[in-house]
Amino acid sequence: MNKILVWDIPARLFHWAFAGSLTAAIAIGFLVDDDAPLFQLHMLFGIVALFLLAVRVVMGIVGSRYSRFSSYPVHPREVASYMISAAVSKTKLYAGNNPGSATAAVLMFLLVPALFISGIGYGGEAIEELHEAFAWALLVVIVMHLAGLAWHTIRHRENISPAMVTGKKSGKAEDAISSSHAVWGVIIAIVAGVWIAALFAGHNASTATVKLPGLGVTLQLGENEGGKGKQGRERDDD
């Protein structure tokens, strides 16, 4: 089979930006005490991941063929069949996400909002205590996803990891997408870059707060001077 285009530029940009923000948030969260100044970056990168996820939801509705959630093969029967065949034999090849990667994506997309809510105390102390459990769950999903990629490479003798760089995988010509959507990639990159830059510009390390661009909401990050917890939010009046 020839190499065909399956991932457009917006999908590839999201993949690496989302992976980078999650990696930074997880690394800081596990390696730095929550009362350290650097811990504020853990929460900032978590907010970046949530923002990127919001962009991804839009792509999942109106994006390219394999970016749309409707293309995800996540029916329980199909997922179970895929997992069993992956363990004992070679699996069916998918042009876009296979059931394993699609399931991992859905779990990550659900865990990121759960981490945000539990991390800033929107659900109260009981929900906040779940934050560490959600973080470990996310780490497990990521490790399993990477292990699945390695296993696929071994079983099928096809390294599909570069697909998120080149956008291409082995497949049939009729399964290819029609365009890399470079213009949309540039637009999304600019909009996301401006929003993320504004987020970091709105971060005040001395008060451990950040103003969310365009939302008029200021979030408390880490410990504040009044001795309150890391939770907290307030609506700006100006």
Percent of the chain past pLDDT 90, that is, above it, reads 71
Residue indicated by tokens 């509705």: 61
What is the residue-averaged pLDDT of the chain? Answer: 89
Query: What are the boundaries of each domain within the chain?
Result: 2-235
**Could you tell me how far CA 138 lies from the centroid of its own chain?**
10
Q: What are phi and psi of 235, to 5 degrees?
A: -90, 125
Q: Residue type at 23?
A: T
Residues 6+ apart with CB under 8 A from 17: 48, 52, 192
| The pair of three-digit structure tokens given for residue 141, joined into one six-digit string | 């999903």
Nearest to 7 by CA among 172, 185, 166, 170: 166
- The average pLDDT across 200-216 equals 94
Secondary structure, 3-state, 199-219: HHHCEECCCCEEEECCCCEEE
Residues 6+ apart with CB under 8 A from 145: 100, 101, 104
Q: What is the pLDDT of residues 61-74, one digit of tens each?
A: 999 999 999 999 99
Q: Is there a contact between 210 and 46 (Cβ–Cβ < 8 Å)?
A: no
pLDDT confidence of residue 230: 45
Place 35 in a pLDDT band, splitting at 50, 70 and 90: confident
Q: Bigger pLDDT: 222 or 173?
A: 173
- Sheet with 209-212: strands ordered across: 203-204, 209-212, 217-220, 233-235
| The pair of three-digit structure tokens given for residue 57, joined into one six-digit string | 């939801």
Is pLDDT above 50 for 215? yes
The domain defined by 2-235 folds into Fumarate Reductase Cytochrome B subunit (1.20.950)
Q: Bigger pLDDT: 155 or 54?
A: 54
Give the whole-angstrom CA distance, residue 51 versus residue 120: 15
Nearest to 101 by CA among 151, 52, 136: 151
Neighbours of 190 (CB within 10 A): 10
Whether the pTM exceeds 0.95: the reply is: no
Is pLDDT above 50 for 220? yes
Give the whole-angstrom CA distance, residue 93 versus residue 193: 35
Give the whole-angstrom CA distance, residue 211 versus residue 148: 38
